Amino acid sequence: MLFIYIGEPEDLRSPLIFFEGLRLFDRYEAGEQAVLVHIYFSQDKDMEDLQEFESLVSSAGVEAMQVITGSRKAPHPKYFVGEGKAVEIADAVKAVGASVVLFDHALTPAQERNLERLCECRVIDRTGLILDIFAQRARTHEGKLQVELAQLRHLATRLVRGWTHLERQKGGIGLRGPGETQLETDRRLLRNRITQILARLEKVEKQREQGRRSRTKADIPTVSLVGYTNAGKSTLFNQITEAQVYAADQLFATLDPTLRRIDVADVGETVLADTVGFIRHLPHDLVAAFKATLQETRQATLLMHVIDAADLRVQENIDAVNTVLEEIEAHEIPTLLVMNKIDMLEEFEPRIDRDEENKPIRVWLSAQTGVGVPLLFQALTERLAGEVAQHTLRLPPQEGRLRSRFYQLQAIEKEWMEDDGSVGMQVRMPIVDWRRLCKQEPALEEYVV
């Protein structure tokens, strides 16, 4: 049986989570040999869904002993699958000697427990599988805290009424009652631990916010890499920055955000951020737990959406990423599409696609070979510096500091003195700099003539 505790282990992949040695609930211990279950809920059997599930399992370091598929119109309330299919799964577990059953779907706590009783082994749904992968990938203290938060929120719905015979706080005559049951204690401990983690992550977020403010004051734009998992974001990040960020041909190779400064022609110093990849049906608790990490995406000047051009499900992957961007309120940030892995396409040359206004909207390249990366820098220059704001201003005499800001930005094209002592000027600057300056100087828009 699996004993689960709450706390901060060095390796979050371990099934043991420590908190004063208190056992929360019993479950079968998960091993490394699994039976996989994938159910189709439409007539069109999309094999790519199953292949992605198998990639997730491989990324978790689990050996797939057998794959069971089936079709249903709707999930069964007790087992998710039909009773006959549930028995088939249980028989397969015994036949191949598996120690865990992995479902490519979200299961209710009751469905998990019913399946575990029938199969006599641990049952983990898609959310639990992704959480396990994230636990393996977390390297920083912040990343581990975020993973633990998501794990605890997932576990909170799966507490069982164990040890209810250990009733506490019994009263005397006229005050007798069941006291606090073990289940109530477990829930309280989970809530307390979640509160502690949220407080620590709030401190992390404040530290990140200070860094973003410093970059904003220095007028340094931020470009954030986003994309479907395993699209090649970290490989592209390394190609651009010459960094040594971990990159591998596996799902969720990158978990912790990495920031590097790069130089973009006609723009200058720019911050490039590599963040966690997205996937279809990304657990909501995971998105919420990684709020601090995803803030780098929400606050970006430009998003570089990296896409695996060799994937057969290009548009579906794009839609999945856009769904998450909308969930974190980053869908309105200007975006440049990067069609990666053209080295895996037949006779495909790097190029820049433009819209009707001649603005770069898509770059075709190979992050692995470096082919097309110079075109990406060209597109970045045009996107970051190409959009220009032109205004005529009249600054009052006391706004000398604001006037010096325009000189620092080399934005003044013409300047003159007015009869009332105010300073008239014509300014021309990248629109991203203008918007940033308006946020920093709320009175600026009042001086526009």
Is 229 within any annotated ligand binding site?
yes
Q: CA-CA distance, 277 to 289, in Å (whole number)?
A: 15
**pTM for the full model?**
0.70
Is 85 within any annotated ligand binding site?
no
* Domain-wise residue ranges, the chain: 16-124, 219-384, 388-446
Residues 6+ apart with CB under 8 A from 356: none
Residues 6+ apart with CB under 8 A from 154: 127, 128, 131, 283, 285
Is 256 within any annotated ligand binding site?
yes
Q: How many CB atoms lie within 10 A of CB 279?
A: 22
DSSP secondary structure of 176-221: ----S-HHHHHHHHHHHHHHHHHHHHHHHHHHHHHHHHHHHHTT--
Q: CATH classification of 219-384, choosing from 3.40.190.10, 1.20.1630.10, 3.40.50.10540, 3.40.50.300? A: 3.40.50.300
Is 367 within any annotated ligand binding site?
yes
Is 177 within any annotated ligand binding site?
no
**Residue 63 near residue 99 (C-beta atoms within 8 A):** no
Is 230 within any annotated ligand binding site?
yes
Is 276 within any annotated ligand binding site?
yes
Helices in 67-140 by DSSP H: which ranges?
A: 83-96, 109-119, 126-137
Is 252 within any annotated ligand binding site?
yes
Is 411 within any annotated ligand binding site?
no
Q: pLDDT-derived band of residue 291, with 50, 70 and 90 as boundaries?
A: low
Is 231 within any annotated ligand binding site?
yes
Is 227 within any annotated ligand binding site?
yes
> Residue 212: exposed, middle, or buried by beta-carbon count in 10 A (0-12, 13-18, 19+)?
middle
Highest mean pLDDT among 172-186, 281-295, 305-319: 305-319
Q: CA-CA distance, 303 to 252, in Å (whole number)?
A: 19
pLDDT, mean over the chain: 80
User: How do residues 28-49 score in pLDDT, each as one tens digit?
Assistant: 666 688 999 999 887 666 667 7
Q: Name the residue with higher pLDDT: 173 or 61.
A: 61
Provide the b/e sequence for 300-337 (b: ≥16 CB within 10 Å): bbbbbbbbbbebebeeebeebbbebbeebebeebebbb
Is 181 within any annotated ligand binding site?
no
Is 368 within any annotated ligand binding site?
yes
Is CATH 3.60.21.10 the classification given to domain 16-124?
Answer: no
Q: CA-CA distance, 159 to 189, in Å (whole number)?
A: 12
Is 233 within any annotated ligand binding site?
yes
Is 293 within any annotated ligand binding site?
no
Is 277 within any annotated ligand binding site?
yes
% helix, strand, coil for the chain, step of 5: 40, 20, 40
